[in-house]
Chains A and B, each alone.
Chain A
Amino acid sequence: MNENFSEPNDSEVDELYARLDREAKQGGYFLNPDVEFVKGLVRGLLINERRYGYRACPCRLAADDKQQDLDIICPCYYRDADLSEFGACYCALYVSAAVLKGEKEPSCIPERRQPFMGRAAKPGSSGASPDAAPVKLSVPVWRCLVCGYLCGRERPPEVCPICKAGRERFERFI
């Protein structure tokens, strides 16, 4: 853990905020319309990036081990399920269209992530084992564990084109 980092300044927060907003829209997601609330979380993401080396969820306790925290790098593996069920992600950084339109209020929601002892080695993983492939494929199919994007190619993309998750957060699906 790096403890001697400089606190993110306002322009760094604004910059990441603008980027996340743009990327969210491109992927069909929405940031919480409460800009000050979101900027508070963005500051937390920047602090965690400096502290741990990756943008761990600001509302969860990171283990300071990227492998253990792969599921809670923002956007986390739980975002989509929480958006569908509660209209917001756990931190309420991302919200559903209904919340965006003011038809629903985001509120604090239960933690979907299992405590460490009960967590699978690869949280969220639901992929078939490659041997179980029903058909012979010319290339494997990879699934983004954050947003479910699927693609058929030799290796997963470096960055998910939909949610910007890194290659290490893909699983072999078929």
Chain B
Amino acid sequence: MNFEHVAGKERGKITLYALSTCIWCKRTRELLTALGVSFDYIYVDLLKGEDRTKAIEQVKHYNPSTSFPTLVIGDKSIVGFREKEIREAIG
């Protein structure tokens, strides 16, 4: 699975599972970029075969409803574009 890496300030491991067509996902990505933190993201809808299955499993682990965006910050997960929570979690 190839995550896209966005360079920035180190705030621990931040992973964003997103869909390429979803505007809330886009807003989440933009917020992380604006906050200037280092993070990895992946568009699950663009994956195929094993990569897709693997990514879905990872999302499900944090968020049983497998909805997007699912943002994983360390061992905490935030489902949906929840600006306040995301800002707080990143600090």
* A44-B65 contact in complex given A62-B45, A108-B81, C-beta closer than 8 Å: no
A161: chain B residues within 8 A (beta carbon): none
A48 at interface (Cβ–Cβ under 8 A)?
A: yes
Instruction: Please measure, in the bound complex, the distance between the C-alpha atom of A37 and the C-alpha atom of B81, giving whole angstroms.
Output: 14
In the bound complex, do residue A61 and residue B23 qualify as a contact, i.e. CB atoms below 8 Å apart?
Answer: no
Chain B residues near A61 (CB-CB < 8 A): 19, 44-45, 56, 66, 68
A58:B67 contact, CB within 8 angstroms:
no
Contact of A95 with B by CB under 8 A: no
Contact across chains for A59 and B65 when beta carbons are under 8 A apart: no
| Residues in B whose Cβ lies below 8 Å from that of A109 | 80
What chain B residues lie within 8 Å of A102 (beta carbons)? none
**Interface residue B64 (Cβ < 8 Å from any Cβ of A):** yes
Q: In terms of DSSP, what is the predominant structure of the interface of chain B?
A: loop
Interface residue tally for chain B (C-beta within 8 Å): 21
- Assess whether A41 is in contact with B23, with CB atoms less than 8 Å apart: yes
B24 close to chain A: CB less than 8 A: yes
Q: Is the interface on chain A under 10, 10 to 19, 20 to 34, or 35 or more residues?
A: 20 to 34
Q: Per-residue 0/1 for A44-69: is the Cβ within 8 Å of any B Cβ (1 yes, 0 no)? A: 11011000000000111110000000
> Closest A-chain residue to B81, C-beta based?
A108
Smallest Cβ distance from B75 to chain A, in angstroms?
A: 22
- Using known A-B contacts A61-B45, A108-B80, A108-B82, determine if residue A115 contacts B22 with beta carbons closer than 8 Å: no
Q: Which of A59, A110, A113, A114 contacts B22 (CB 8 A)?
A: A59
